[in-house]
Amino acid sequence: MTYEQALNYVDSFLQFGINPGLERIKLLLEMIGNPQKKLKFIHVAGTNGKGSICTFLSSILTLSGLKTGLFTSPFILDFRERFKIDGNMISKNDFVNIVEYIMPFVKKMTKNGRNLTEFELITAIAFLWFAKKECDIIVLEVGLGGRLDATNVIDSALVSVITSISYDHMNILGETIEKIAKEKAGIIKSNGTLVLYPRQNNKALFSIKSVAKELKNKIIVPCLNELSSIKTNLSGTSFDYMGETFEITLLGKHQVYNAITAISVINFLKNIGFKISKEHVKKGLADAKIPARFEIISQNPLIILDGSHNMDGATTLANSIKLYLSQKRIIAIVGMLKDKEVSKVLSIVAPLVSDFVAVQTENYRAMDNLELCKLIKNLNKTCTVADNLADAANFAIKQLDENSAIVVFGSLYLASQIRPILMSFCEDF
C-alpha cells in the first residue's frame, strides 16, 4: 500500500460524517490492544484556542526532554500534521504500516454494521502510533464537543484543560452556552485536575465548574492580576506573568491568555513531579508556531490568514484587526461552512472590511459562494464572487496598495486550501 492509498482509505470514512459516541472507538481499541491505556494524557477541549494551547504545551514539553505526542485537528498543510511526536509529523511509512495493521479490524466492524467515522479512525491511528513509539506524554485535542468525542475514550488524564467556550456545532452540542459547556466538560474525570482558560462566558463557567465540583476536581484558573505589560505588534507579543517576562510569536491578545493557560498546566505538572525549567517554558512559548491563527503569509503585500469560523473566533479576529490593522483598508476573502452561524460571523467582521471576495471551499459542508455573497451584500458591503480559490487570491491581490491588507477567514478548510495558493502568488512579488 502506498501513502496515497492509505490516505484515500482514511478519507473514505468521511462518508459516515459526524456521529458522536464512544461505542465504536471502544470496540476498535479493544481489538487492537487498547494502546491508549499505555499512555499519559493532557486532554484539551473547548471552542477556540485548543490548537494554540496544545501547540504551546507540546513545544514546552518537548524542550523539557519528554517524548511528547501531539494529536490535533483539522490539518492546514499536510494531513500528517494531526500526528506529531516532538514536533515531527508521523512518517508516511509509519502511517501506511499502521493503516495496514488496523484495516482488518475495521473491516470486521464494518461487516457487523459498525461504521467508524473518519475522526474515530484517525484517533485510533494516533493512539497506536504514540504507544508504539513509547511516548512519555500526549497532548490530546478534542475533535468536537467532549463528552462523546472519540478522544474521550481515555480512562484518565494527568490534567484536563478547557479553553474558551462559545457557540459552535449547536446542532450537535446544544443551542445554549450552558449545554455546549456541559458537553465540553464531559472530558473531566473523577478526582482530577482541571485548568480553565481565564476569560469565560459566565454561564459557561458555571456549567463547567458545576461538573468539576461534582467530580471532585481541583480547579486551576490563571490569575489575570498577575498579568501585565502586554506589548504587541505584527512581529510578536511580550507580556509579564507571575514576575517573569515571556514572548510569543502568535498574534492577538487572546494568545496571551492561551499562553498563561498553558503556563498553568505546566506549573501543575511541575507540582506533581515533572522536571520542566523556567527556560523550557520561555523558549517553548517563543518557539510555538501554528498556521492560520492570524498568520502573516506575507508582509509586502500584507496578507493574513485566519481560521475564524464561529462568533467567538470572529470577535477575536475583529479585535486583532482593530489592534494591528486599524489604519489599513481590509479586503477579505471569505468561505464558510453552511452549518455555521454564517450571518452572525459576517456581521461581526464586516464593519471592518472594505471589500469582500466570496469563495466556496472544497468540502461537502461548504456554503455556496453565491449564497454567501448575498448574505454579505445584505450587510451593505460590496462583494465579488470568485469561481475558485486561485481566482479569489488573484482578484484580491490586484486590489492591494500600500494602505491595504488581505485578511482570509471563515473556515480552517479555507485556510488549508488557499494557503499554498497565496504563498505562490507572494513569490512573484
Report the pLDDT value the prediction gives residue 15, as an integer from 0 to 100: 83
Whether 185 contacts 208, CB under 8 Å: yes
**288-319 in b/e burial notation, b at 16+ Cβ within 10 A?**
bebbbbbbebbeebbbbbbbbbbbbbbbbbbe
**Same domain, yes or no: 335 and 245:** no
Q: What are phi and psi of 157, to 5 degrees?
A: -140, 145
Report the pLDDT value the prediction gives residue 158, as an integer from 0 to 100: 98
Burial of 365 (0-12, 13-18, 19+ CB in 10 A): middle
Q: What is the pTM of this model?
A: 0.89
Report the pLDDT value the prediction gives residue 364, as an integer from 0 to 100: 82
> What is the per-residue pLDDT across 105-125, written as a single tens digit (0 to 9) for each?
999 999 988 999 999 999 999
> What is the per-residue pLDDT across 193-250, written as a single tens digit (0 to 9) for each?
999 999 998 999 999 999 999 999 999 999 999 999 999 999 999 999 999 999 999 9
**Same domain, yes or no: 106 and 255:** yes
Give the domain extent around 127.
3-287
**Sheet holding 295-298: strands in order across?**
295-298, 303-305, 404-409, 329-334, 355-358, 382-385
With H, G, I as helix, E, B as strand and everything else as coil, classify residue 217: coil
d(CA 45, CA 309): 17
Share of residues in the chain with pLDDT > 90 (%): 81
Q: What is the CATH number of the domain that holds 212?
A: 3.40.1190.10
Angle at 231 between CA 48 and CA 219, to 5 degrees: 45
Q: Write out the three cell numbers for 424.
A: 505562490
**Same domain, yes or no: 240 and 305:** no
Side-chain half-sphere exposure of 315, counting CA atoms within 13 A: 9
Angle at 293 between CA 378 and CA 234, to 5 degrees: 100
Report the pLDDT value the prediction gives residue 308, as an integer from 0 to 100: 87
Number of domains the chain contains: 2
d(CA 332, CA 66): 41
Nearest-CA neighbor of 47 among 129, 146, 188, 122? 146
**Same domain, yes or no: 121 and 254:** yes
Of 222, 257, 287, the one marking the end of a domain is 287
d(CA 195, CA 261): 7
**Same domain, yes or no: 248 and 208:** yes
Q: Where are the beta strands (DSSP E) in 221-299?
A: 227-233, 236-241, 244-248, 295-298
Of 257, 287, 317, the one marking the end of a domain is 287
Q: What is the CATH number of the domain that holds 315?
A: 3.90.190.20
> What is the per-residue pLDDT across 242-287, written as a single tens digit (0 to 9) for each?
999 999 999 988 999 999 999 999 999 999 999 999 999 999 999 9
Block mean pLDDT (10 aa), the chain, length 429: 96 87 96 98 94 97 98 89 97 98 96 92 98 98 90 97 81 79 94 96 93 97 96 94 96 94 98 97 96 90 90 91 94 93 94 96 90 95 95 93 94 90 74
Report the pLDDT value the prediction gives residue 171, as an integer from 0 to 100: 62
Average per-residue pLDDT in the chain?
93
Report the pLDDT value the prediction gives residue 168, as an integer from 0 to 100: 65
Of 239, 263, 287, the one marking the end of a domain is 287
**Same domain, yes or no: 257 and 375:** no
**Same domain, yes or no: 282 and 342:** no
Report the pLDDT value the prediction gives residue 428, as an integer from 0 to 100: 55
**Same domain, yes or no: 233 and 362:** no
**Same domain, yes or no: 180 and 262:** yes
**Same domain, yes or no: 249 and 357:** no
Report the pLDDT value the prediction gives residue 380, as an integer from 0 to 100: 93
Please state, as a whole number, how many other Cβ atoms lie within 10 Å of the Cβ of residue 217: 21
d(CA 259, CA 38): 29
Report the pLDDT value the prediction gives residue 91, as an integer from 0 to 100: 98
Report the pLDDT value the prediction gives residue 75, as an integer from 0 to 100: 86
Please state, as a whole number, how many other Cβ atoms lie within 10 Å of the Cβ of residue 204: 26
**Same domain, yes or no: 299 and 283:** no
Please state, as a whole number, how many other Cβ atoms lie within 10 Å of the Cβ of residue 258: 31
**Same domain, yes or no: 355 and 281:** no
Give CA separation, 312 vs 22, 142, 187, 319, 367, in Å.
28, 18, 21, 11, 20
d(CA 278, CA 283): 9
